[in-house]
Amino acid sequence: MGAQAGEVVNAAARRYASIAMADFIAAAITFVLSNFPLTFLVIGLIVSLIAIARTPEPVDAATIVEKLISWHVFFAIGVSNLYNFVCHVFFGKIAAAFIGWADSPFQFEVGMASLGFSAVAFVAAFRSFDLRLAAILGPALFLLGAAAGHVYQMVAEHNFAPGNAGIIFDMDIIVPLAGFVLLGLQRRYGRPPTRLI
């Protein structure tokens, strides 16, 4: 009887562990997808670091900045805004609820603005300083305005929904600031003589 009880306990422990792992994976996927601006900022940074590591020596400051700004524009602005377009246009009710708002026709308009930002970012990612400036400036104004709107909603309406406060709010400030810092660094160090992306 003792061996059978041990088998039952082991089977229950394995089942509980698999349920706990499934819950962890589901929570991780939800976190990554719900906090997509952070996700794509981090992916852009990782890809940048890989690109820098693959660059033949010596690696100068201009090359490092080139890799960082290229992949920042591509992922943190281009892919992130493409994802935002899909969320607001095709899953508007879910996106609105995540922000703590009711669904409205403005979801489509926000989605289309995001698609425009995404298109400019994809064109600009590996191009000139001026194109990158345009790709960063438009979304930066939008995100900083959204951050101001989130502050108003938190103070006036006590709206602390995950899409209005927390990581989304933080990224509305961090992504534009990172873009402006990278633009300043590229202005300071220039472009590398050979572009190895």
Structure tokens at 120: 């400019």
Structure tokens at 180: 């402006």
Query: What is the reported pLDDT for 8?
Result: 63
Query: What is the reported pLDDT for 172?
Result: 94
The whole-angstrom separation of Cα 129 and Cα 92 is: 34
CB 189 within 8 A of CB 61: yes
Report residues of the chain scoring pLDDT below 50: none
Query: What is the reported pLDDT for 20?
Result: 77
Query: What is the reported pLDDT for 39?
Result: 95
Query: What is the reported pLDDT for 35?
Result: 87
Query: What is the reported pLDDT for 162?
Result: 82
Listed by start position, the domains of the chain span 1-34, 36-189
Q: For residue range 40-83, what is the model confidence (pLDDT) as tens digits?
A: 999 999 999 999 999 998 899 999 999 999 999 999 999 999 99
Query: What is the reported pLDDT for 77?
Result: 98
The whole-angstrom separation of Cα 39 and Cα 80 is: 9
Query: What is the reported pLDDT for 13?
Result: 61
Query: What is the reported pLDDT for 129?
Result: 94
